[in-house]
Amino acid sequence: MGPKGSKQSKKKNNAKKQKNAQIEEELEMEKEEVRNQVKILVLGTGESGKSTFIKQLLILHKGGFTHTDRETYYSTIRKNTIFHIIQMINACKSFGWELEKKNLELARKYANIKVNEITDLNEKVVKELKQLWSDSALKTAYKNRHKFHLPDSSNYYLDDLDRIGETDYSPNDKDILLCRIPTTGLNKISFNFGETPWNVIDVGGQRSERRKWIHQFDDVTLIIYVVAINEFNQKLFEDEEVNRLLESLVLFEKTSNDKYFKEKNCVIFFNKIDLFEDKIKSEDLSQCFPDYEGGNDPDEAKKFIKLKFLEAGENESRNIFCHYTCATDTRNIENVFDAVNVSIIENTLKTGGYM
């Protein structure tokens, strides 16, 4: 090969080296970007309040709900309101809570409506629902909702039927926060907290959805586990023999001790604390935990449940932080989220070998 060929070959080699160097630099920059991101996995059983927490992040860090969001919830809220009346009518029949004679025919009409036949609210439907909701038997059903499956927020919508039934009704933030739509698959929200990119992922909590969790553990910065602390006297939708709070405890113990969790800090949100403090006045925690002896004292009950979860998940490889939350209270979630940021900083220092 002559001098000219050698120069061309050398030039090609230099260009190749420069290209490789550029690629390596870009890859390193991508790795650094990933390292600087915060990835949070939100776990918990169904109806624990995970999705409500994600909605709060939309309000706090993404400018709130869009017009499209509100249109989506518009239909769901109205149809769910009718469905909740149907659920309570059926519960009255099952448990022997007798409706007033004047409401029997109307109750039969709604009891025979199939879920896929539920129509939207109109003036006539609103009037009928208000009449049924005023019946003491349905009030008894709502009070005993732990005996069947009825969202805690049902009364919120039924007490405000006139507003929800208006032709120009548009759900406000509280309407949306209290609206229950089961999570299927993944629900992800990304935003900057300060100068740091955050990715928060919520996955369905029903038993059929949990198998998807394992695929989300890679590169997780922190685990948030949400517990509906008020469910100590309720049964699973999937299994009427299983206590909801015990299911949450068993699931936490299993997942927190999985190999993917052992090195991860964890934050437990003991959610629906407002409902818990109201319920514990008349319901004894011993029906869930036979070894509990604190009676109806809410502080004793909270400490007992917290200890159960700490015992189930504590190990030397990570810390578990606990907070009592009300996911529908934006100010509460904002304060708790600031506290979560502290645990993330600690995790970063620990990973970097600084503590």
Asked whether residue 221 falls in the same domain as residue 117, the answer is no
- In angstroms, the Cα distances linking 257 to 42, 207, 249, 299, 323 are 16, 18, 12, 28, 20
The candidate with the shortest Cα–Cα distance to 235, out of 225, 221, 247, is 247
Asked whether residue 58 falls in the same domain as residue 206, the answer is yes
> Does 223 appear as a known binding residue?
no
Strand-by-strand arrangement of the 38-44 sheet: 186-193, 196-203, 38-44, 222-228, 265-271, 320-324
Asked whether residue 274 falls in the same domain as residue 293, the answer is yes
Cβ contact 186:8 at 8 Å: no
Asked whether residue 71 falls in the same domain as residue 109, the answer is yes
Residue 294 lies in a domain: yes
Asked whether residue 147 falls in the same domain as residue 260, the answer is no
Angle at 112 between CA 145 and CA 168, to 5 degrees: 75
Residue 20 lies in a domain: no
Asked whether residue 188 falls in the same domain as residue 173, the answer is no
The candidate with the shortest Cα–Cα distance to 42, out of 210, 253, 272, is 210
Q: Which pLDDT tens digits describe the chain residue by residue (355 residues)?
A: 555 556 666 666 666 667 666 555 544 444 444 456 788 889 998 889 998 999 999 999 999 999 999 999 999 999 999 999 999 999 999 999 999 999 999 999 999 998 778 888 899 999 999 999 999 999 999 999 999 989 989 999 999 999 999 999 999 999 999 998 776 667 888 988 877 888 998 876 566 665 666 666 667 888 899 999 999 999 887 667 889 999 999 999 988 888 877 778 889 999 999 999 999 999 999 999 999 999 999 999 999 999 999 999 888 777 889 999 999 999 999 999 888 887 676 665 555 443 4
Asked whether residue 205 falls in the same domain as residue 60, the answer is yes
The candidate with the shortest Cα–Cα distance to 176, out of 157, 163, 204, is 157
Q: How many domains does the chain have?
A: 2
228, β-bridge pairs: 271
Asked whether residue 47 falls in the same domain as residue 171, the answer is no
The CATH number linked to 174 is: 1.10.400.10
Record the pTM: 0.83
> Does 273 appear as a known binding residue?
yes
Q: What domain range includes position 80? A: 67-178
Cβ contact 45:205 at 8 Å: yes
> Does 23 appear as a known binding residue?
no
The token pair at 121 is: 């609210």
Asked whether residue 196 falls in the same domain as residue 296, the answer is yes
Asked whether residue 55 falls in the same domain as residue 82, the answer is no
Q: Annotated active-site positions, please?
A: 47, 52, 180, 202, 206
Domain finish residue from 147, 178, 209: 178
The candidate with the shortest Cα–Cα distance to 143, out of 78, 77, 91, is 91
> Does 186 appear as a known binding residue?
no
Task: Say whether 49 sits in a helix, a strand or coil.
Answer: coil
The candidate with the shortest Cα–Cα distance to 319, out of 257, 265, 244, is 265
Query: d(Cα 352, Cα 29) in Å, to the nearest integer?
Result: 18
In 112-197, where does DSSP find H-type helix?
Answer: 123-133, 136-143, 154-158, 161-164, 173-178
Task: Name residues whose C-beta falls within 8 Å of residue 255's C-beta, 6 or more positions apart in sequence.
Answer: 43, 213, 225, 261
The CATH number linked to 51 is: 3.40.50.300
The residue whose two tokens read 């979560």 is 340
Residue 7 lies in a domain: no
> Does 163 appear as a known binding residue?
no
Residue 125 lies in a domain: yes
Residue 8 lies in a domain: no
Residue 13 lies in a domain: no
Asked whether residue 198 falls in the same domain as residue 161, the answer is no
Residue 81 lies in a domain: yes
Residue 30 lies in a domain: no
